[in-house]
C-alpha cells in the first residue's frame, strides 16, 4: 500500500473480479456439466483496472487463460510471476517474438507474422505455440478467406518441420453487442466454421476454437465453442446499452474517487469554467473536484452525475485538464475534504452514466483513466486491504 493518503484513486475490488469470473463460467456451463474454457482479457492494463492484480484474481476464480493484445503486456505478466497460459495477438515488425517464445507466450498469427515467428522458433530450438486468426468479416487483423489456404498450407509445413504448433484458431465478432443484427453474427460464425474446415483440410488440428467476446458469451451459446474470451464482463460492465450488468449477475469492480479540493460561495450569474458554458442561476456554493481530462475524465461530459458526500449532483460547466466544478446549491454543508465518487458501487452511479454523458462507451470510459490516478486494489471479501502480492500494483509499480 502507499505510505500517504491517496488524493484521487480508482479503487478496484478484486472480489468483484472473482465474482464475475465465477458468474461467467457458470453462465457458459452446458446442461451436461461441461463448459468452454474462459480467457480473461487483461489487455490495456486490464481495461484500466491494473493488469497483474486483475490477472491474479481472475485466475484464482477459475479463469483458464489470459489474453493481451501486445507481447510486451504478456512479458509484463511473466515478469510479475504470472505463469498461466497467455495469448498475445497484435504484432508489428518490431514485436519481440524471441522474448515471447522464451517466456512461453502463445502468439496470434494472421499472415505475415508466421515467418518471423518461425525464425524465432528455429533460433530458440523450440516450437512456437500459435493461434491462427481468421478475418470473418470485421476487417481488422486476421487472415481473409482468399488467403487462408496458403496460410494453412504454410502452417502445416512449419508444424511438420517442428517449429510451430497450431494450438488454436480464432476470430472476433463485430456486432454481437447488437442482438437485432443477429444475422450478421450468424454469418461470421458460418465464415469461421468454413475457415476451420480449410485448416483441417490442410492437416491442421487446432484444439481451441474461440470467437465469443463478452456480448456473445452472455447471449450466444452457439458461439462458445472451446473457449470464450471475456473482457468487459470481467470488470462487471455490460456491453448492451439497454441491459445493465446486474441483469447478468455481474458486479462493477471500479470506483473513481477523490475529495473536494475547494468550497466557496458564488454570486448569481457567476461563470463556471472555460467558455462559461454554465452560469449560476442564483447565489450558490461551488465545489471543486480535482480530476480532469488529464486523468481520463471526458472533457465533454458536462452534466454527468457524481456523488458528493452522499448527495447526487452533476458536473457544472466544462471539465478542464485537472479539475471540474460542481454546484452544491445555496444551502450546501459540504467542506473541503468531503468524499466524491464519480462512479462506482458505493454511489450506485454506473460508469455507463459517464459514458453516456460523454457520447462514448463504458469500455473507453474505464480504460482511459490516466496513469496519475493510482489504482487502489482492495478485496471486499476480506476487508479492504489489497493482498501483499498486489501491494506494488496499488502504487503503479507492477502495472504491466
Report, as residue numbers or ranges, the catalytic residues: 43, 274
Q: How far apart are the first and last CA of the chain?
A: 17
Q: Is 264 helix (H, G, I), strand (E, B) or coil?
A: strand
Backbone angles phi, psi at 351, to 5 degrees: -55, -30
Taking CB atoms within 8 Å and a gap of at least 24, the contacts of 359-368 are: 359/300, 360/298, 362/232, 362/237, 362/238, 363/47, 363/231, 363/232, 363/237, 363/239, 365/298, 366/47, 366/48, 366/49, 366/235, 366/237, 366/254, 367/44, 367/45, 367/47, 367/48, 368/48, 368/296, 368/298
Q: Alpha-carbon dihedral of residues 80, 86, 90, 94, nearest 10 degrees?
A: 50
Cα separation, 288 vs 280, in Å, equals: 15
Report the 10 Å Cβ neighbour count for 130: 27
Backbone angles phi, psi at 82, to 5 degrees: -85, 115
Q: Is 106 left (phi over 0), alpha (psi -120 to 50) or beta?
A: beta
Cα separation, 93 vs 68, in Å, equals: 18
Angle 114-124/148-161 helices, nearest 10 degrees? 0
Contact 187, 211 (CB under 8 A): no
β-bridge mates for residue 133, sequence order? 170
Residue 234: DSSP 8-state: G
Backbone angles phi, psi at 200, to 5 degrees: -70, -35
Cα separation, 73 vs 64, in Å, equals: 18
Q: How many CA atoms lie within 13 A of 242 on its CB side?
A: 4
Amino acid at each position: 500500500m502507499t505510505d500517504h493518503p491517496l488524493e484521487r484513486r480508482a479503487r478496484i475490488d478484486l472480489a468483484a473480479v472473482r465474482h464475475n469470473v465465477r458468474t461467467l463460467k457458470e453462465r457458459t456451463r452446458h446442461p451436461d456439466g461441461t463448459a468452454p474454457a474462459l480467457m480473461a482479457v487483461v489487455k490495456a492494463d486490464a481495461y484500466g483496472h491494473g493488469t497483474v492484480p486483475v490477472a491474479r484474481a481472475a485466475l484464482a476464480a477459475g479463469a483458464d487463460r489470459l489474453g493481451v493484445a501486445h507481447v510486451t503486456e504478456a512479458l509484463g505478466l511473466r515478469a510479475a510471476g504470472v505463469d498461466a497460459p497467455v495469448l498475445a495477438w497484435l504484432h508489428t515488425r518490431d514485436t519481440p517474438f524471441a522474448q515471447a517464445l522464451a517466456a512461453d507466450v502463445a502468439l496470434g498469427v494472421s499472415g505475415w507474422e508466421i515467418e518471423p515467428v518461425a525464425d524465432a522458433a528455429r533460433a530458440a530450438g523450440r516450437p512456437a505455440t500459435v493461434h491462427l486468426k481468421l478475418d470473418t468479416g470485421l476487417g481488422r487483423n486476421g487472415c481473409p478467406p482468399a488467403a487462408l489456404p496458403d496460410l494453412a498450407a504454410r502452417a502445416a509445413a512449419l508444424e511438420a518441420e517442428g517449429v510451430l504448433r497450431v494450438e488454436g484458431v480464432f476470430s472476433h465478432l463485430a456486432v454481437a453487442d447488437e442482438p437485432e443484427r443477429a444475422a450478421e453474427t450468424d454469418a461470421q460464425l458460418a465464415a469461421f466454421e468454413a475457415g476451420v474446415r480449410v485448416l483441417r483440410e490442410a492437416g491442421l488440428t487446432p484444439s481451441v476454437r474461440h470467437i465469443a467476446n463478452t456480448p456473445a458469451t452472455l447471449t450466444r451459446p452457439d458461439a462458445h465453442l472451446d473457449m470464450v474470451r471475456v473482457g468487459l464482463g470481467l470488470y462487471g460492465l455490460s456491453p448492451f446499452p439497454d441491459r445493465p450488468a446486474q441483469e447478468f449477475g455481474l458486479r462493477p469492480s471500479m470506483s473513481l474517487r477523490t475529495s473536494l479540493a475547494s468550497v466557496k460561495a458564488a454570486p448569481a450569474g457567476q461563470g463556471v469554467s472555460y467558455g462559461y458554458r454554465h452560469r449560476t442561476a442564483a447565489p450558490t456554493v461551488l465545489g471543486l473536484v480535482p480530476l480532469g481530462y488529464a486523468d481520463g475524465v471526458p472533457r465533454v461530459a458536462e452534466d454527468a452525475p457524481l456523488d458528493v458526500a452522499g448527495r447526487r449532483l452533476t458536473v457544472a460547466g466544462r471539465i478542464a485538464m485537472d479539475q471540474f466544478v460542481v454546484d452544491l446549491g445555496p444551502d450546501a454543508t459540504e467542506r473541503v475534504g468531503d468524499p466524491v465518487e464519480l462512479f462506482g458501487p458505493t454511489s450506485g452511479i454506473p460508469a455507463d452514466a459517464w459514458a453516456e454523458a460523454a457520447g462514448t462507451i463504458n469500455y473507453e470510459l474505464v480504460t482511459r483513466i490516466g496513469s496519475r490516478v493510482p489504482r487502489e486494489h482492495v478485496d471486499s471479501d476480506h476487508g479492504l486491504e489489497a493482498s501483499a502480492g498486489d501491494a506494488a500494483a496499488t502504487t503503479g509499480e507492477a502495472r504491466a
